[in-house]
Structure 1
Amino acid sequence: MGYSEQQRSTTWLLRGGLRPTRQRLALAGLLVGDGMDRHVTAESLYAAVGEAGAKVSLATVYNTLRAFCEAGLLNEVVVDGARSYFDTRLDDHPHFYWEDSHTLTDAPAEDLVIAGLPEAPEGMAVSRVDVVIRLKRA
């Protein structure tokens, strides 16, 4: 990891109030080191960290992704109830889920209109709305 990637990763972790440990830095470097937004699963991040030569277990990847979400650094987007993608882009935006390749990408938000939401139960507030548009070959 180059100096600017490491600096970007360290700053990102500190913004979430997380100590920049070796394992967190390795994962953060793959997530935000190049400054690009991405969507990853725990498994795809685990494979990438292995290819990068870092020693991090799959359990650590899962736990660290959860910690990044709790710190407000990532959003989790659940697809099919069993598959979670972790999104580095934090603003409200819709997603395309490509059923044939099992990938998640950002969708253009310009044409999306949400006319209304049901009222939240008493004592609760809507924290966010996830819009996943599933795509299959026509």
Structure 2
Amino acid sequence: MSEQVHSRRDSDLPVRLQEGAGAPAQTSAAVQGERRGCPFHELREKLRRAGLRPTRQRLSLGWLLFAKGDRHVSAEMLYEEATRARVPVSLATVYNTLHQFTQAGLLRELAVDGSKTYFDTNLSDHHHFFVEGEDRMMDIPGPSITVGDLPTPPEGMEIARVDVVVRLRRKE
């Protein structure tokens, strides 16, 4: 009986995103490659543990986000991937879902220049490279940056996190 319920829930998802179906036929460079981890039942539980109801859209977008491991995406990038994977979702829903995932502690939000926001699936303490002209974020490997001499926070406040973004550009 539980298999029938499980199948019924998965049948609501686009065929290409159902458990075991693999990667979408036409994928962007960010999605190509082998899928690993995060089967749908694990994703459902991950959403529930974070206090989010595992809706069809959250599952579909969550699969695109988390099934490939650590990555950085913008709302526009995820929307493009969802469109190519035939996930019926609006750009507004993608933005809302990314912000819900961030508030639930499933993603880390990174602002670049105040106009571009990326969402990071790697929640560990780490810093980033941003490749100018390519609009691409990359993790800086290991503890290669030490941040010191931080200002004392005002009374009743504490430093929650320090984000370092090192900007790169191609040599001419």
* TM, length-normalised to structure 2: 0.75
Conserved? CA contact 1:6–1:33, under 8 Å: no
**Out of 70, 74, 79, which is 1:41 matched to?**
74
Residue identity matched to 1:121: P
Equivalent residue, structure 1, for 2:62: 28
Conserved? CA contact 1:94–1:107, under 8 Å: yes
Residue identity matched to 1:43: E
Residue identity matched to 1:91: S
Equivalent residue, structure 2, for 1:92: 125
Equivalent residue, structure 2, for 1:13: 47
Deviates more, 1:52-61 or 1:3-12: 3-12
Once the two structures are TM-superposed, the CA of residue 5 in structure 1 deviates from its matched residue by: 2.4
Conserved? CA contact 2:126–2:143, under 8 Å: no
Identity across aligned pairs (percent)?
A: 50
Once the two structures are TM-superposed, the CA of residue 8 in structure 1 deviates from its matched residue by: 2.9
Deviates more, 1:85-94 or 1:10-19: 10-19
Relative contact order, CA 8 A, sep 6+: which one is greater?
1
Conserved? CA contact 2:102–2:109, under 8 Å: yes
Residue identity matched to 2:79: Y
SS of equivalent residue, structure 1 residue 77? strand
Once the two structures are TM-superposed, the CA of residue 17 in structure 1 deviates from its matched residue by: 1.1
Once the two structures are TM-superposed, the CA of residue 103 in structure 1 deviates from its matched residue by: 0.4
SS of equivalent residue, structure 1 residue 84? strand
After TM superposition, where is structure 1 displaced by more than 3 Å over at least 4 residues in a row? none
Conserved? CA contact 2:130–2:168, under 8 Å: yes
- Supply the RMSD in Å over aligned alpha carbons: 1.3
Which whole-Å CA distance do the structure 2 matches of 1:11 and 1:40 have between them?
22
Which whole-Å CA distance do the structure 2 matches of 1:28 and 1:116 have between them?
38
Once the two structures are TM-superposed, the CA of residue 100 in structure 1 deviates from its matched residue by: 2.2
* TM, length-normalised to structure 1: 0.93
Count of paired positions: 137
Q: How do residues 42-81 of structure 1 correspond to structure 2 at under 5 angstroms?
A: 42-81=75-114
Deviates more, 1:100-109 or 1:89-98: 100-109
Which whole-Å CA distance do the structure 2 matches of 1:127 and 1:20 have between them?
29
Give 5+ residue unaligned stretches, structure 2.
1-16, 21-37
Once the two structures are TM-superposed, the CA of residue 9 in structure 1 deviates from its matched residue by: 1.9
Which whole-Å CA distance do the structure 2 matches of 1:99 and 1:50 have between them?
26
Once the two structures are TM-superposed, the CA of residue 136 in structure 1 deviates from its matched residue by: 1.0
